[in-house]
Every structure is written in C-alpha cells, then in structure tokens.
Structure 1
Amino acid sequence: MIKVGAITIGQSPRTDVTQDILPLLGDQVELLQAGGLDGLTREEIEAFQPGPDDYVLISRLRDGSSAVFAERYILPRLQNCIDQLEQQGVELILFLCTGDFPAVFHSKVPLIFPCKVLNGLVPALAGRSRIAVVTPTPQQVAQSENKWREYVSQVTVIPASPYGSPEELDRAARQAAEMDVDLVVMDCIGYSAEMKAKFHEISGKPVILSRTLATRVLMELLS
C-alpha cells in the first residue's frame, strides 16, 4: 500500500474532493489528509480576512461552509501539514488547491501543486491561446486575470463558487457558451466532476477540471 498525502488549505477531510479522486487512486493507495485551517474556529478563521494587497484564497470547512482568507496567514500552517504527513510516511503530497503558492515550503517528498499542472497544460491545449477561467469569488477575478495573462493571450474570468448554489455555475456556463474560447478552466479544487459535466453540457466548450487532472499526474508518478 502506497501512502499519499493530501493538503487542503481549508479543513480536512475534504470528502467533497475525495469522491472524485479516490476512484482514480485505486486500491493500492492510502490517502492521508491534513488541512491548513484544521483545529480553528470560525472566529479564528475570520481573523485571516484578506486585505486589498493580499493573495486571496477560498476553501471548504469541515461543516460544509466556505471561508475566504489571505494566503500569508496559512503558509506556516501548510508547512506544518507537510511535516505531519511526512511523519506518517507519505511518498507524495498533493495540494488540494489551485492557488499560486510562493516557494517557501520544504519537503522530503515531491509536492504536487495543481496550479503548476494547469500552467503547463492549459497553454498546450488552448490552440488559439483563448480561455475562459471559472474562479470562486469576485475577489479572485483580478488576480486570476493577472496570472493567466502570463500563459495565454486572451483570458476571461467568470466568478462562480463551487460552494454556492448550482444556479450560479449554470449562469457562468451560459456566459461561457457565448465566448469565443478554446476551453474553460475550472480553476479551483472545489469544482466537482458533476459540475464539470453540467458546465460542459450548458456551455458546449471543452472543460478542464483541476482535481482530476492533478490526480492523474500524481498517478503517473506512482506507476
């Protein structure tokens, strides 16, 4: 049995994510989880609210709700997650977040960041370098636009939370249907395979889902 670590920036376990990735991992992989906000109350998490210059993150909490917070507050807590999982004997660690993290972590095992996987693959698949990106909150639109402009020539960002009402994503899919883009990137680990399928059905566009893409890359390293 191979032990693989998974770190959410929110609270573990991320049962909403594992429903899609466990079938891809198969019977020979044991998934051990840790979370950057584990052990914190809602009041403590609210103290991590982002300011105007902060890199904004959003994630799911254990009770099923979501929280928005600044990246800088949780970087040391994410390092603690890495240390904890290494002590449990994992061979790889997958981050359950598409955020763009600074190179501050140290690890004895490979760290897989979905952001880096997307950064490499999306330009290769977007033939005319035109994409639509779905991101959870309006607070992330500008930082998403700035990020993706480094990799493609044209990007349109649509805010629609994976933690909100299904109608929000349906509206975003209808917007994408009117766009002349090569593909849609669901740029948050919170979007599910079911959400992807419905988005594709409504928009008629090819859709990339970060959680399953990153898991398939992880399995390539293990096989």
Structure 2
Amino acid sequence: MGKKIGAVTIGQSPRTDVVPEILQLMGNIELVEGGALDGLTYEEITALAPTAGDYVLVTRLSDGRAVKIAEKYILERLQAQIDRLVKEGAAGIVMLCSGEFPAFSCPKPLLYPQLLLTNFIQAVAGGKKLGIITPDADQVPQVTKRWAAAGVAAVQARPASPYAAEAKIWQAADALKDWGAELIVMDCIGFNQSMRNEVTRITGVPAVLPRTVAARAVAELFA
C-alpha cells in the first residue's frame, strides 16, 4: 500500500458511502477512518441536535441513518480522532465533510474540503450565478452567506439530502435550472458521482462535488 492518510467524518465510521468511491481517485493511498460520533448511541447523538444560532451539520451514521447535529458539540471529538490517526502513522488528514471548521491542531497536512472547494470555485466561477444543493433547510442561510463571499454574481441554495429520497435532489436541480444557475455545488460529502451526473444532465451545467475535489487533492499531495 501507499501512504496512510486519515479520513475523519463528522458522523460514524466507516463511511461506506464515501470511501470506496474516493479511493478510486486517490491512487496508491491507504485510508484509515475515524468518526466524531463513533461509540455513541443513537440517543446520545440526538442530544447533539442544533438549536437556534448553532452551525448546522448533517451526517450519516454507520447504520445508514442521517442525523442533524450542532458543530460545537463535536469539535473536541474531531480533534481526538485527528490525534489518534496521526499517532497511528497517518501522513496527512482529510476531513470527510464540506462544512466550515475552526483550525484543528495537526502536525501533518490537514485538508478541509470546504477550503479546497471554495478556492476551486473562486478560480472557475467568477461572475457566474452559483446554485447550491445543501442537505437541510436549516443550512440554507449559512451556505448562502458563505458562497456569496466567493466572488460569484449571485447565489441560490436549495435543500435536498444525499441521505434521503433522490427525487428531492432532482427537484432542487430543476429549481436551480429555472433560476438560471451557471454552476452547481453539491455541498455535502454525501453526494456521489452518480448524483452529480444526474444533476448535470438536468441543469445542463457543471456540478462540483466536495468528495472528488478533496480526493484529487489527496492524490496530488500523497500518491
């Protein structure tokens, strides 16, 4: 195997819905996983639900269920997973989430999909109308604010979860097409390449995935 890279999810590991697909893009890389919600019961996880003013995250549990949590409750648990994976020999860490995070302590390269994605979009989408698909309606204000600062002409966000009925994703794509989106960001690590391909077909414009942007960055650095 190639270099060992840590993959940290805000949910539970293993992320069987993400890791097999991104490994195909990473080349000679060994991914070792850790999750902020590993070891917690469903009842303990539901106690982490966001309230007014919280930064909202949506993620997947190991049994496939989706949950909504407040970022503030998992920051220490994310740091603990980063520390563990580095101690076990990871040459770098990639976060399996496209949300915004404070700077974690890490002596190795730490890749945030949100930063990679933001800089990529700024490079290719200047002056364009940017459509966003985000998992939950509670996330619409925070992602609209974030992407409006990316140098685009206008932003519209529509909620549709990668962990629920795919028909909602196609409906969101239709709405963004009607609005006139010139580029789509599917703003969750849970969206896969098959979903991206269908959104591109519906809208007639490119759609970008956090997971593939992050995977290609890992390959560039470590493969």
What TM-score bracket applies, with the shorter chain setting the length?
A: over 0.9
User: What's the offset of the Cα at 1:203?
Assistant: 1.4
Alignment of 1:37-52 (within 5 A): 37-52=37-52
Deviating above 4 A after TM superposition, structure 1's stretches of 4 or more consecutive aligned residues are none
Q: Which residue of 1 aligns with 2:196?
A: 196
Q: Does 1:60 align with 2:67?
A: no
Aligned to 2:112: 113
Aligned to 1:73: 73
Residue matched to 2:170: 170
Report SS of the residue matched to 1:205: coil
TM-score in terms of structure 2 length: 0.96
User: Deviation string for 1:45-77 (max 9, x for gaps)?
Assistant: 011111111000010000001100000000000
- Flag structure 2 segments of 5+ consecutive residues without an equivalent: none
Residue identity matched to 1:138: A
The answer as to 2:6 corresponding to 1:5 is yes
Where does residue 25 of structure 1 map in the other structure? 26
Structure 1 residue 204: Cα displacement? 1.1
Counterpart-to-counterpart distance in 2, 1:18 and 1:58: 17
What is the CA distance between 1:130 and its match in structure 2? 1.7
Task: Tell me what 1:141 maps to.
Answer: 140
In the TM superposition, residue 110 of structure 1 has moved relative to its aligned partner by 0.7
Are the aligned partners of 1:130 and 1:153 in contact in 2 as well (CA < 8 Å)?
A: yes
Deviation per CA, 1:9-56: give whole Å up to 9, x if none: 000000100121011122x21110000000001100011111111000
C-alpha contact (below 8 Å) 1:184/1:205 kept by paired residues:
yes
Unaligned stretches of 5+ in structure 1? none
Q: CA deviation at 1:205?
A: 1.4
The 2-side partners of 1:187 and 1:156 are apart by 12
CA offsets per residue over residues 135-191 of structure 1, 9 Å max, x none? 000010011111111113310001000000011111111112212222000110000
Q: Could you say what secondary structure the match of 1:6 adopts?
A: strand
Secondary structure at 1:16 match in 2: coil
Hey, what's the Cα distance between the residues in 2 that align with 1:117 and 1:154?
20
1:128–1:182 CA contact under 8 A, matched in 2: no
Partner of 2:222: 222
Report percent identity of matched pairs.
44
Q: Secondary structure at the match of 1:115?
A: helix
Partners of 1:169 and 1:134 in 2: CA distance: 8
Aligned amino acid, residue 50 of structure 1: P
Paired with 2:166 and 2:181, the residues of 1 have a C-alpha distance of 23
In 1, Cα distance between equivalents of 2:66 and 2:181: 30
SS at match of 2:17: helix
Equivalent residue letter for 1:144: V
Alignment size in residue pairs? 221
Inter-partner Cα distance in structure 1 for 2:106 and 2:20: 27
Aligned counterparts of 1:171 and 1:77: Cα–Cα separation in 2: 35
Provide the secondary structure at the position in 1 that maps to 2:131: strand
CA root-mean-square deviation: 1.0
